[in-house]
Structure 1
Amino acid sequence: MAAAPVGYALQPEASTVGFSYFLNAERVRGQMPVAEADIRIDFTDVSRSSVSVTLLPARADAGLPFATEAMLGGQVLDVANHPTITFQSRSITGSPARAQMQGDLTIRGITRPVTLQARLYRQRGQAEGDLSQLTILLTGRISRGAFGADGFPQFVQDPIDLSIRARIQRAP
């Protein structure tokens, strides 16, 4: 009988949902807080793992005050009508050290498939084999236009690069 996936709780104060984009040919970095996450990892069969995340775009920082204001408005994220961004994994392949995660991302009420690269690490100072505290690095690229977040195309290029570093701890 196979072991069940292990539940992990997000450490939001030590996690960063980062994104970068080109504004007038200059790379700008921003970040967005996580409202909640449900992370379950099966270390013997990653295909039985799952990730569900809810982000709070209204509290995002696009790296520059005027860019943040534009990003939150109706032409881009429209946070007044769409207060969350969600991701739900559909399948995970590979290994805990190097996996590929396919899932559904919902922005502005529009859901599209995305693929993220995932890497799992023990946190610094942990003994080998200690899986109680981990760091997940997720990277990928999305088209903002595919989600209707295509305002200000003369200034902001498509696509958006993602670099998400999440620290997690085994749930009690």
Structure 2
Amino acid sequence: MLRRTLIAGVIALFGLPAFAAPLPYTLGSDGATISYTFTVGGEKMVGTVPIASAALTIDATNLSASTAEVTADVRRARTGLIFATEALKSNSILAANDFPEARFQSTRVFLGNSGRIDDGAALEGLLTLRGVTRPVRFEAQMFRQPGTAAGDLRALNVLLRGSVNRRDFGADGYSELVDDTVQIEIKAHIETES
């Protein structure tokens, strides 16, 4: 009964027929941004890392069947300061030369309390960083483009927010200066040809 209620809520939000099929998505022309916030000596710093590739499938009538696989190029990670960027990519933190990519593979999707995606959702998956794989969870939101019809899912905006403990991945360098918790925010514009 609960599953049928959740599916009905998604159908109502998107205005989809019950037989709608999963749709493959790629990064749109507006691309995607991975931002991370960390604390150095009590001061917050923000950096970015570009997404190298993304393979996404969204099943609007059964979100639990949706999938995401995203790869980021940690060699191109940046902070606002050159010395902090170099320290970030060093062997004691990201080890970018030995592990040039970070990878996220989704494992489960949860809808918000109302059973509607616009009420928020959560995306669980496995993050591989420095060759270490750990489970992570992101709070997720997904929106149609402004001004589009309820059933128009050709272009969507996605927002993911979560945090990781860098020590869980062996990225424990400069622990006397840098806090262990790193906040992550991913903004993506995705499109499908369907």
Q: Give TM class, smaller chain.
A: over 0.9
TM (norm. structure 2) is 0.84
Residue number in structure 2 paired with 1:90: 107
In 1: Cα distance, 2:28 partner to 2:143 partner: 15
In 1: Cα distance, 2:110 partner to 2:29 partner: 26
In 2: Cα distance, 1:33 partner to 1:125 partner: 29
Residue number in structure 1 paired with 2:130: 108
Are the counterparts in 2 of residues 12 and 34 from structure 1 also a CA contact under 8 Å? Answer: no
In 1: Cα distance, 2:37 partner to 2:145 partner: 25
In 2: Cα distance, 1:6 partner to 1:100 partner: 19
Which of 115, 122, 139 is the matching residue for 2:144?
A: 122
Gaps of 5+ in 1: none
Deviation at 1:9, TM superposition (A): 0.8
SS of 1:118 mapped into structure 2:
strand
In 2: Cα distance, 1:25 partner to 1:73 partner: 21
Pairing 1:67–2:104 present: no
CA distances 1:6-62 after superposition (whole Å, capped 9, x unpaired): 111113653111110011111111110001001111111110100000000000112
Gaps of 5+ in 2: 1-17
TM (norm. structure 1) is 0.94
Pairing 1:155–2:172 present: no
Q: If each structure's helix is expressed as a fraction of its own residues, which one has the higher value?
A: 2
Residue number in structure 1 paired with 2:66: 49
Which stretches of structure 1, 4 residues or more, deviate above 6 A after TM superposition?
Answer: none
Which of 138, 159, 163 is the matching residue for 1:137?
A: 159
Q: Point out the structure with max Rg over C-alpha.
A: 2
Deviation at 1:136, TM superposition (A): 0.4
Residue number in structure 2 paired with 1:79: 96
CA distances 1:72-130 after superposition (whole Å, capped 9, x unpaired): 01000001100100000011111432211110000000000001111001223434432
Give the aligned CA root-mean-square deviation in angstroms. Answer: 1.6
In 1: Cα distance, 2:83 partner to 2:142 partner: 35
